[in-house]
Structure 1
Amino acid sequence: MKRVVLILLFSFISSFAAEHITAQNIDEKLQNKNVIVDFYATWCPPCKIMSKNLEEFEKSNSSNVVVYKVDVDKQPELAKEYGIRTIPTTVYFKNGIFLKKEVGIKTPSQLHLNVKNYF
């Protein structure tokens, strides 16, 4: 029972490791940066895997890429604006300009490759 509680607690905490953005601050957060935005939901098991992969990516990230998160249940207007119909979805921005949208779980090595290719 203790293990289950610890696993659930870790999953909950890890889903909030990166800073969250909202419709009110997205323009400010994306300016003059290379950004990966993770669109997710707290109830989504693949999103929890993606969150862990993004954390691992951030630990080994030597580039100037910032990772933000958007909870699609709390920010449905952002999900609609960027055409998010499936989660997890990662969206890549350079200096506030939309570059690419990818659906599904990405490994840390895939994220590093994407950063190399997109930025």
Structure 2
Amino acid sequence: MRKEPNIMEMKFTSENFDNEALKSDKPVLVDFFADWCGPCKMMAPVVEALASEYEGKAVVGKLNVDDASDIAGRYGVMSIPTLIVFKNGQISDKFVGVTSKNELSAALNKAL
């Protein structure tokens, strides 16, 4: 029997993005993804693990580009997955494509 992990990741939407991501007092990692994207599915466990590891220190979440194309367009997301680290509402780091957990951890630590 497989135990479901506690999912700590934020679900970003067009409605909550500015408040939850840009106005956060903590660094924010946003995974721009789509349900149909194979590489995005490969990133899902990494993003979930980071959400758990950085709970209380940073906000980690996902934004579905099909549901929030306005936000994806605002940040020039042309390929997915794209992962962006925001600090104080500004882009601190940006990764396009499958990215290692170590690289994302380093970017979050730099933004802390």
TM-score (ref. length: structure 1): 0.77
> Which of 11, 18, 25 pairs up with 1:27?
18
Aligned equivalent of 1:110: 103
C-alpha distance 104-80 of structure 1, shift in aligned 2 (>3 A): same
Greater radius of gyration (CA)? 1
Deviations, residues 10-39 of structure 1 (Å, cap 9, x unaligned):
xxx99x862211222111102212100000
Q: Secondary structure at the match of 1:101?
A: strand
Gaps of 5+ in 2: none
Give the structure with the larger helix fraction: 1
C-alpha distance 24-61 of structure 1, shift in aligned 2 (>3 A): closer
Aligned equivalent of 1:45: 38
Distance 1:68 1:61 in 2: 11
Deviations, residues 81-104 of structure 1 (Å, cap 9, x unaligned):
000000000011112222222101
Using the TM superposition, give the Cα deviation of residue 107 of structure 1 relative to its aligned residue in structure 2, in angstroms: 2.0
| Cα pair 1:38 1:90 within 8 Å, conserved | yes
Q: Secondary structure at the match of 1:39?
A: strand
Percent identity over the alignment is 33
C-alpha distance 62-22 of structure 1, shift in aligned 2 (>3 A): closer
RMSD of aligned C-alpha atoms?
2.4
Deviant stretches of 4+, over 6 Å: none
Residue-pair matches, total: 107
> Which of 79, 82, 85 pairs up with 1:92?
85
Distance 1:73 1:65 in 2: 25
Aligned equivalent of 1:76: 69
Gaps of 5+ in 1: 1-5, 7-12
| Cα pair 2:50 2:60 within 8 Å, conserved | no
Deviations, residues 35-60 of structure 1 (Å, cap 9, x unaligned):
00000000011001111111122333
